[in-house]
Amino acid sequence: ILRKGAPFTFQFTLNCVQYTAECFSGSSLYNMYIKKLDRVDLQASPVVDEASPSSTSSFEMLDMDSVPAPYQEVQPHWFFCRRADENTSWLPFSREDSDKLENEEVVVAVDGDRYDVHVKERKRYAVYWDQAPTEVRRCTWFYKGDKDTRFMPYPEDFSQSLEAYEIAVTLDEWKRKLEFPTGETVILHNPKLIMQYQPLGLQDEWVSSPSEQTRPRTVKRGVENISVEIPDGEPEKVDHLVFMVHGIGPACDLRFRSIIQCVNDFRSASLSLLASHYKRAQQDGQVGRVEFLPVNWHSALHGDATGVDEDIQRITLPSISRLRHFTNDTLLDLFFYNSPTYCQTIVDTVSSEINRLHVLFKQRHPKFNGAVSVVGHSLGSLILFDLLTNQRTGSEAREGVPSREPGHLSCDTLEQTLTRLGLQQYLDTLQAENLDLESLALCHDSELKDLGIPLGPRKKILNYVRRRWMPEDCKTGAVRVTPGLQVPPQHPLTSDHDVNQPSGQAAQQSQFHRAQSVTSAVDYEYFDVGIGQVSIDYPQLAFHPQTFFAFGSPIGMFLTVRGLKHIDPNYTFPTCKSFYNIYHPYDPVAYRIEPMIVSEVDLEPMLIPHHKGRKRMHLELKDSLTRMSMDLKNNVLGSLRTAWQSFARLCTSCPFLQYLKFSVCQYIKSEGMQISVSAEQTEQAEIKVGMLNGGRRIDYVLQEKPIESFNEYLFAIQSHLCYWESEDTALLLLKEIYDKLGVAFEQPQQ
């Protein structure tokens, strides 16, 4: 504008410089202004008459785009650090959480109240599970190298130094070089091109240009200038709470991620599905969100908690060490669950962790009045099945059903117990280790031996404590479980019926019957201690679950090998009225439940709909081919049926034709064919699958992906671990939850 010779603007600029001199005398910004002004030849600046045509044309020819935009303060956004193995990534908080962090200075609840950020410490702490605190930053400047996939935020002090950008913008002076004590150099080429050059540890003397030192980093100012997806904030209202129990091992998927990470994925999928399939209900305020919380029991069984890892390691062979370590850390959990000692530890850990999370959630969400459900994956589903089977209703508790809460032996103290046994001389030894009756019941003989207690007293102590620890029916060598989950009464191995059995095929049937009787001789309802189902006490949950969802569950297999042949159709969990058995068709660990309730009918499982509202393409093609085949078959059978009816009418007047009809009928019967059956007889009657899920279907199967259908064996392991990222599974849970709340489901248009 000065060059265009506008006299008013020129004089105004001089006044601004004088004012700046008075206010910011000696500052770097003032010096920059003076330096800039020195370049202007004040005497040569023409004072042109405003009415002059040349001045008018000069003003009209001014390129307004060349005028730099005024400086604006950068808008900060808060990020948190996530470290996985050797990789470090910075992820943004939602805009809602970032605004809260910007405006508050103490502790801020973020990520759906699952984390607390201590703002002054710049640390993020998990609320519901054990996790190392993560770093938090207030971010304004970001960088990315050639090999980086995303921008990383600078430390806050470095970002503050980069705000010298204000001088370049204000003075429109670019190609400025900012040097830092660490040796880094940042060059402000222009508002859209800012580069950082890293120092080299060793460099030749002739290298002078920063561009010759190393590959530069691209630098961006403000989160709006980088390609990062800022998550939407989660609805504050929680409609339903779901606890998710993992299966064997510390990892839950093929990427060896923990239960926490897998549940995070499942929660994210559910939030996305709520936004797409319950959009109108969300807009009307009917729908908030479903909270999913992980239940981790593996760490309580392994490590220093029980010492079992050290014991197992002593007997582990040294060969193929990695495979044996995998076995010890994962597959042994199945054997631990069949051990009386460790099964009690697992069940107590799962129930206490669920109750702890439930109490903590209620404290942080005092307005929550929704229902609670549970999910179990693999072995976790069996743990929940046994736990729910042994829950008590309020009436049973009031009627004095014999039960023992965890940690209760008797009213006797340790001193009274040892006095009764005549072993009071060992009181000081046990008290020195802080042992009471409860912890004494968990001790092994070897542990008491290490304390210097002789064999005789050790046996007396362990025998007494464990007898008092077991429930009444265990003292007689039997375990009582819920009626309804039991095998039918067994026939005697020998009887008059067996003696009178004829030879031949009947004799083979008799041998099969005796073999089957021997296999089924152990009644599921009553087991000898140490055989079949283990003898433990099941603690009580602090709530009644609304629904139990089993993912990739071996429940059916475990019930079968325990001796259970049939589940009573009238049986239900005492405190949970809904049960879904969800599995992938190629899952090698999953088993069905419905055939144990309805054994007389070959009932296909319910196909879980695709979350996009259709079957997968290859399944639709298969169904189309099947329908074509059935239509062709029905047309052929229809023609044959008409011909057969005409043939049958002719047979009434001819003995030879009657004999021919009889022969044809025998052949049709031997080939398993049906021609003259009416359509009404072919319709399958409605099947009732008992009350385990309130009379509704129990077994639900996922649709395999097209690539999975090429090789079932190749995707078998993956199929057992697919549920955490399955949108179809998540949508089934949401439909069950919100159907009970009376919220309409919406299938979005594709």
Between strands 371-377 and 548-551, the pairing is: parallel
Q: Is 195:216 a contact under the CB 8 Å cutoff?
A: yes
Residues whose CB is less than 8 angstroms from the CB of residue 54 and which lie 6 or more positions away in sequence, other chains included: 48
56: number of Cβ within 10 Å: 13
Q: What SS3 state is found at 77?
A: strand
Distance between CA 193 and CA 117 in Å, rounded? 34
DSSP 110-139: ETTTTEEEETTTTEEEESSS----EEEEEE
Distance between CA 80 and CA 110 in Å, rounded? 11
Q: What SS3 state is found at 744?
A: coil
Between strands 238-245 and 371-377, the pairing is: parallel
Nearest residue to 91 via CA among 310, 264, 336: 264
Distance between CA 238 and CA 370 in Å, rounded? 8
Phi, psi of 290 (to 5 degrees): -110, 130
Residue labelled with tokens 């010096």: 31
Q: Residue 13 to residues 40, 42, 49, 64: CA-CA distances in angstroms?
A: 11, 11, 19, 18
List the beta bridge partners of residue 243.
293, 374
553 is catalytic: no
Q: Is 333:302 a contact under the CB 8 Å cutoff?
A: no
Report DSSP state, residue 493: S
Give the amino acid at 679.
A
Q: Which of 55, 378, 381, 553 is catalytic?
A: 378
Q: What SS3 state is found at 595?
A: helix
Between strands 579-583 and 606-607, the pairing is: unpaired
Nearest residue to 110 via CA among 233, 266, 229: 233
Distance between CA 703 and CA 618 in Å, rounded? 10
Which residue intervals of 39-92 are DSSP H helices? 53-60
The sign one gets for the Cα dihedral 400, 401, 407, 408 is positive
Residues whose CB is less than 8 angstroms from the CB of residue 103 and which lie 6 or more positions away in sequence, other chains included: none
Q: Is 537:403 a contact under the CB 8 Å cutoff?
A: yes
Strands (E), 226-304: 238-245, 289-295
Please list the active-site residues: 378
